[in-house]
A and B are shown apart, each in its own frame.
Chain A
Amino acid sequence: MESNSSPFHLPDYSSATDEALFEALKQQHSSALSILFHRHGRLVYGLALKILANQQEAEDLTQEIFLSLWRNAAKNPECRYFVRYLVTMTKSRAIDKLRARHRHLKLVERWGQSMTTEASPDPNPLEQATLTERSQRLRIALEQLSEKQRQVIEMAYDQGCSQSEIAQRLEIPLGTVKTNTRQGLLKLKQILLDPNTLAL
């Protein structure tokens, strides 16, 4: 795919696989970074905003996470698993930032604050329709999990809780949180990646 290794040469990576994008990132091709942001930017920003409940901090963290991917791609082979890297880094750094701020607001309060005080750009009607469809599709899939599996996945990725926080709030051992998270993800794989199981 890549014949020119200059970082300033900008080939079209819009349909590139993660593997090809990873190689391009290692070569510091900014167009690869742009495509990755296009594919995963809303996940990082959305998760950061949920945890930090502050639009400016979420923007800063989103930039920090993608820059860390940009800088570390050549050194760290695990960057190749982009979603894993971005989600793990976002959760971990956002939680660190919260602790550093000594913010001990309860999660519900943080969530409430993010919904009422943060002025995120309003999606247009078509964007909103897409968001609604994505959300409905996920809700249908989550309904097919066991109650514990659904709870831990919602708490981890909708509310931005750490696993120890989930264990504490649900009053279950950390090992049970891990088992339910992993089994829930495997079950969701069967549901979400099989086109016949979910038809809206």
Chain B
Amino acid sequence: MNEPLDLEHIKNLAAGFVVDDLTPEEAEEFRQVLALYPAELVNEIEDLQEVLRQVLDGFTEVEPPPHLLPALLNAAKGSTNKPVVVKQLALRWDKIAMGIAALLVIALGVDYYRLRQNFSLVIAENQRLRQEFGEAQAVKALLQETQTRLFTFKAASSTNKASGSIIMNPERQKALMLIRNLAPPPPGQAYVLWTIINSKKVFCGEIKPYTWGTASYELPFTPEMYRDFFNPDFSGLVVTLETNPTASRPTGPIVMQSSQI
């Protein structure tokens, strides 16, 4: 370590450490540098881990099933590394007293197991509720803003159960569409959203969430599209089924239409 520190080289090693692709020589070099500059390098490692976390987070479209955490906590309970202290029963106890003690131990053990199991479930439920609360707060914040508008959609046909809503705020340039029971479009076709201005339909973009059925989709509106909502001649929104999702005029049937709240 007599050579001057090459910061870029050390950052490169830290990145290699986090993605776990260091050669044995690099790993040894990094171990030595880490021992010399623990505070600086631990910060760098933590930042790079946060980046890796965000990368995986962005690529992940599923949530672990809710039963997984309670199952994990139960399994962890059975594999605790703590040493178990075994007390010798006094030999002077007679057999009846030993029997009663054993029954008590079993009864207390079962109660304790149930208590721990319930506690694990409560922790998991608490976490789920906290996450949902955080997400609901975000939508609530949007709803509290004066410029926010909310539209609901109903299926144009009585046999179709599709419904949805759009919440949008022109100041924050945010528009979110929530859909329910909207079947995937047939192959080669797409759902397209239109604003109705002066009885004419104006293109607002294709609706393409990651999943169909019940889902949400952040609408990539242009500033002009946001302005259309405040046009005095604006009278609503429709969703049509189109073969050309970029066409400037609708040719397909109306699937859903809006009413403003």
Contacts and interface: CB of A to CB of B under 8 A. Distances in A.
A114 B75 CA distance: 27
Nearest to A152: B19
Interface in A94-142: 120-139
A186 B68 contact: no
Given A123-B63, A132-B217, A185-B19, A67 B76 contact: yes
A18 B48 CA distance: 14
Interface in B47-99: 47-66, 68-69, 71-73, 75-77, 79-82
Nearest to B58: A138
Interface residues of B, number: 66
A87 interface: yes
Contacts of A173: none
A20 interface: no
A128 B48 contact: no
B48 A185 contact: yes
B216 A42 contact: no
Given A7-B82, A84-B18, A186-B11, A37 B72 contact: yes
B236 interface: no
A188 B55 contact: yes
B29 interface: no
Contact of B178 (A10, A125, A188, A192): A125
Contacts of A156: 19
Given A81-B45, A128-B209, A163-B21, A186 B216 contact: no
Nearest to B44: A189
Nearest to A10: B119
Main secondary structure of the interface of A (DSSP, over half): helix
Binding site of B, secondary structure by majority: helix, strand, loop or mixed? helix
A28 B80 contact: yes
Given A42-B63, A122-B211, A135-B61, A31 B123 contact: yes
A28 B119 CA distance: 16
Contact of B65 (A59, A125, A126, A158): A59
Contacts of B176: 129
A63 interface: yes
Interface in A134-174: 134-139, 153-154, 156-158, 163
B12 A182 contact: yes
A93 interface: no
A47 B60 contact: yes
B77 A30 contact: yes
A134 B58 contact: yes
B184 interface: no
Contacts of B215: 122, 125, 128
Residue of B50, B59, B69, B138 with highest tally of chain A CB at under 10 A: B59
Contacts of B77: 30
Given A63-B75, A127-B63, A34 B120 contact: yes
A157 B52 CA distance: 9
Contacts of A70: 76, 79
B41 to A, nearest CB: 11
B135 interface: yes
Interface of A: 7-8, 10, 14, 18, 28, 30-31, 33-34, 37-38, 40-47, 49-50, 59, 62-63, 66-67, 70-71, 74, 81-84, 87-88, 120-139, 153-154, 156-158, 163, 178, 181-183, 185-186, 188-189, 192-193
Interface of B: 11-12, 15-21, 45-66, 68-69, 71-73, 75-77, 79-82, 116, 119-120, 123-124, 127, 130, 132, 135-136, 138-139, 176, 178, 209-211, 213-218
What 7 A-B pairs have minimum CB-CB distances, sorted nearest first? Answer: A138-B58, A46-B60, A182-B15, A45-B64, A83-B49, A126-B135, A125-B216
